[in-house]
Amino acid sequence: MGGADGLALFFFEKFTDWHSMRNFTQFTCIDWSGAKSRWHKGIAVASCRLGADAPSLIPPPDRHWTRSAILDWLRKQADSGQDMLIGLDLSFGLPFADQQAFFPQWHESPADAKALWELIDCTCADDSHLAATSFISHADFRRHFRHSKDDTGDLFVGGLGRLRLVEHHQRETRQANSASCFNLVGAAQVGKSSLTGMRILHQLDGAIPIWPFDLVPDYGPVIVEIYTSIAARASMVLAGGKSKITDAKTLDAALHSFQSDAHTPMSGRYTDHATDSILTAAWLRQEAKNLEFWKPKLMTDEIAQTEGWTFGVS
């Protein structure tokens, strides 16, 4: 390629590199929950700044975090304009590439992830606490999901269920043990949390850029999809493929692997939600300038706009 086209490609690549290598000064991880209730012990938020200080938990405005409170908190970060990298522990899209549609055989299947977020949020407009119950029970969509051991939609793909390209890649390279968002059964299921999270992404309405669907701006907050298990595995502290930490000593050992000081001891029991968010915030701080994570080789333009990608998967 030469001439004007070659010059345009050169500047596009330089623009992409520069914008993905920008500086962040604060790093936050939000461990998410898709439960129906208002209060969520499974939601935890931890944040840290540049340097070596360990991430600290951000207390909820009430007894526990709610999804609505997280949405309010994110809007405040948008208003503040802080150079914050925010990791949300959920899937930002559904499988698309394998069948060139989120919902094959449905003629109104959305063309991209942002249209999918809108569809989910509008379908669930009457669901309390930003739940996604109306979506997974809708006649057109429930066919694609495994709802229980004895209730599997006729369009659910057997076995694991359909996976995004990034999830296939994670499993093949053993970077993570991804599950299908179309499977709503079992402790490892991520479908409900991802669908409720997509409602949050839609309701942000562009207030915060969301990678890789939006360009990374040169200042202000940015949201990325993360899996906290990737950070736990990267610490090399846990054996046997385990990814959950429930004690202070192991947490500090894992933090040390990311050049972080020891954490401030918690009062009460160490939950994996709290430790996941603390450790992953430290991991984000270390990896925020890793160009390989911002420009994964397998992520095409179509994948970036339909399925999205998990930050940290190369």
The three-state secondary structure class of 235 is coil
Whole-angstrom Cα distance, residue 137 to residue 148? 12
**Regions of the chain short of the pLDDT cut 50:** 1-2, 4-20
Global model pTM greater than 0.75: yes
In contact, 201 and 224? CB cutoff 8 Å? no
Tens digit of pLDDT for each residue in 236-257? Answer: 888 666 778 999 999 999 999 9
Strand order in the sheet with 222-225: 56-57, 44-49, 26-31, 84-88, 222-225
Amino acid found at 137? S
The encoded tokens of residue 49 equal 């700044």
Q: What is the DSSP letter of 51?
A: S
**Helices of type H across the chain:** 3-20, 67-80, 113-123, 133-137, 165-173, 191-204, 228-234, 248-257, 272-287, 291-294, 301-306
Q: Is 238 exposed, middle or buried (0-12, 13-18, 19+ CB in 10 A)?
A: middle
User: What crossing angle do the helices spanning 272-287 and 248-257 adopt, rounded to 10°?
Assistant: 10
Tens digit of pLDDT for each residue in 144-194? Answer: 999 998 999 999 998 889 999 999 999 999 888 888 999 999 877 889 999
